[in-house]
Amino acid sequence: MQIRVQLMGGLKSKSPAGNRIELADGATINDALSLLGLEAKQVQIVMHNSRPQPNRGTAVHDGDELTVVPPVGGG
């Protein structure tokens, strides 16, 4: 299956070609993040089909979209 991925902020450099990745059927958000080489500490928010998804064990399906936002720091 293929999903669309948008990486925001400092994660943009890890964006896949065409902002799409291939995953096996039954894959989860965690599987997608792992394929992108992202560790849990690098990700603050994951939007799954435009909705916040705190459960990264949630299954993704062909055509879904993930938006990944890193932690925001400043001061």
- The residue segments making up the domain with residue 46 are 2-69
Residue 75 domain-assigned (yes or no): no
- At residue 72 the predicted structure's pLDDT band, cuts being 50, 70 and 90, is confident
Residue 19 domain-assigned (yes or no): yes
Residue 11 domain-assigned (yes or no): yes
* Whole-structure pTM value: 0.92
Residue 74 domain-assigned (yes or no): no
The span from the CA of 59 to the CA of 51, in Å, is 14
- At residue 74 the predicted structure's pLDDT band, cuts being 50, 70 and 90, is low
The span from the CA of 27 to the CA of 32, in Å, is 7
Residue 35 domain-assigned (yes or no): yes
In this prediction, residue 46 carries a pLDDT of: 98
CATH code, domain carrying 62: 3.10.20.30
- Single out the residue of 43, 36, 35, 29 nearest to residue 14, CA to CA: 36
Question: Long-range contact list for 15-18, CB < 8 A, 24+ apart?
Answer: none
